[in-house]
Amino acid sequence: MRRLEDKIRGLCARVVSAKGDEELRSSLVELRSALREHIERVRSRLAAYPFGVERRVKGKFSPPEPPP
């Protein structure tokens, strides 16, 4: 099976080269579906990404110390 990004590129090419309205419409429907699938995959990967612990406390910033 092709990678999803390759499928999206192919669908973009089909949209650009579409001759009639029906061909364009069906290509756009497929492209929209593939883009939604890609977005969901990115969201799920981002949700599992290990973020670092926030070291700052929001709203409590101390001014920089002057040099000695």
Give the residue extent of every domain in the chain.
4-47
For residue range 7-63, list pLDDT tens digits in order: 999 999 999 999 999 999 999 999 999 999 999 999 998 888 777 666 665 666 666
The more confidently predicted of residues 1 and 26 is 26
The amino acid present at 20, given as its one-letter code, is: G
Q: Is 1's pLDDT higher than 50?
A: no
Residue 9: which residues within 8 A CB-CB, separation 6 or more?
none
**3-class SS of residue 63:** coil
